[in-house]
Amino acid sequence: MPFYHKLGKIPHKRHTIFKKPDGSLYREQLFGTIGFDGMSTNSYHEHHPTQVKEILGHKDVTPKIAVNTNLKSYKFHGFKTIPQPDYLDSRTTVLHNSDVSIILAAPTESSKDYFYKNADADELLFIHKGKGKLRTHLGNLDFKYGDYLLIPRGVIYKIDFETEDNRLFIVESRRPIYTPKRYRNHFGQLLEHAPYCERDLRQPYELETNDEKGDFLIKVKKENQLFDMVYATHPFDVVGYDGYNYPYAFSIHDFEPITGRIHQPPPVHQTFETDAFVVCSFCPRLFDYHPESIPAPYNHSNIDSDEVLYYVDGDFMSRNDIEAGHISLHPAGIPHGPHPGAVERSIGQTKTEELAVMVDTFKPLKITEEGMAIADDSYHKSWLEDNH
């Protein structure tokens, strides 16, 4: 996280005595990344955060790959994933490589009997349907339709839903997720040309501090294994913290589109970055204003990256037969572009109401068995002019 945040009570100086009202010590934890070189947070706990009572076992959650090497465009029907009560059980990995997994989830109930921690990956949750509260050991965040929730690796969390019909598009990244470097100055402040600023990013606003002992189950994901670990104290026992490493929320509706006289390339829609992929937000915007502009995108050869588009809302002007919840995969190595008739339809149009999330990966994506179960196997033929 590129700017400082403080919540709760902390001592005047780090690594110094910080006493409870009864004279005993609060327990300090440095919650850091990339050794001691990345972003970190100093948190203060009612109890030692290290008290493991038992490891009950683990289960393998490695994605099962159906298509290992792919050179075919696919469309996936995301809303065909079956809703399930439990949040973790509902997570369906559709696409995967060594850097990132593309996951769909449709939980119908709040997290109840356990806490969850991903020890390997940052998680970017996009809320397509649903409303509720993300509860974490570093504070809580309310969420609703259109929100991105960025949960750094190692954060312990639960999700409380106010709704039963919930749809999440999740980007699970083994690489740290940041705001794009070109949007920031060397101090880390977002610059004037950035499509959003710090006041658009919502920080945790509420700490749950529980001074409780007992048996507390935390499901921890590590190297595609899900471990059931029982801790002796409540994981939400932080009385205060400060630093740069914490979860935050950003609404796609607060992304300010960058437009021009002629069609602008996808990087103007960039919202997040890693060294292995980027995430972009396609939002309602005015079209190009050159008198002879073609608003529809030109054909493009994906030489170095796979392109994934998750369609959220509105009419995506470059595609035919696309609905909310669909995912398109256009693999590296072959061109893709607007469907037949899309260019002609776009001429003279002044604006679009489309809403979509794009993930471009620099390593090829593999398609899972669960992904193939919701795949349109004929999508790659949808550019044939004889079909339209």
pLDDT at 2: 65
SS3 string of 129-195? ECCEEEEECCEEEEECCCEEEEECCCCEEEEEECCCCCEEEEEEECCCCECCHHHECCCCCECCCCC
pLDDT at 302 (0 to 100): 82
**Phi/psi of residue 268, nearest 5 degrees:** -70, -15
Of 4-8, 144-148, 288-292, which gets the smallest average pLDDT? Answer: 288-292
**pLDDT tier, 387 (very low <50, low <70, confident <90, very high otherwise):** low
pLDDT at 157 over 80: yes
Whether the per-residue pLDDT at 24 is higher than 60: the answer is: yes
Alpha-helical (H) ranges within 197-323 are none
Q: Which residues pair with 109 in a beta bridge?
A: none
Mean pLDDT is lowest, of 147-161, 248-262, 337-351, for 337-351
Per-residue pLDDT reduced to its tens digit, 358-375: 999 999 999 999 999 999
Question: Looking at the whole model, is its pTM more than 0.75?
Answer: yes
Q: How far is CA 82 from the centre of its chain?
A: 20
Position 1 scores a pLDDT of 54
Average pLDDT over the chain reads: 95
Looking at the DSSP assignment, which residues form a beta bridge with residue 59?
226
Answer whether 148's CB lies under 8 Å from 271's CB. Answer: yes
Residue 135 scores a pLDDT above 60: yes
- Mean pLDDT in residue range 267-278: 96
Task: Answer yes or no: is pLDDT of 36 > 90.
Answer: no
pLDDT band per the 50, 70, 90 thresholds, residue 320: confident
Reply yes or no on whether the pLDDT at 317 is more than 80: no
Residue 347 has pLDDT above 70, yes or no: yes
pLDDT one-digit tens code per residue, 38-53: 899 999 999 999 999 9
pLDDT tens digits, 83-113: 999 999 999 999 999 999 999 999 999 988 9
Q: What percent of the chain has pLDDT over 70?
A: 98
Each residue's pLDDT tens digit, 185-236? 999 999 999 999 999 999 999 999 999 999 999 999 999 999 999 999 999 9
**For the chain, what's the residue count?**
388
Comparison of pLDDT for 221 and 317, the residue scoring more: 221
What pLDDT is stored for residue 385 in this prediction? 85
Q: Is the pLDDT of residue 14 over 80?
A: yes
CB 181 within 8 A of CB 187: no
**Is residue 126 within 8 Å of 168, Cβ to Cβ?**
yes
Q: Is the pLDDT of residue 37 over 90?
A: no
- State phi, psi for 387 to the nearest 5 degrees: -85, -5
Asked if residues 102 and 91 have their Cβ atoms less than 8 Å apart, the reply is no
Q: Average pLDDT for residues 178-188, to the nearest whole number? A: 93
Judged against a pLDDT cut of 60, whether residue 61 lies above it is answered with: yes
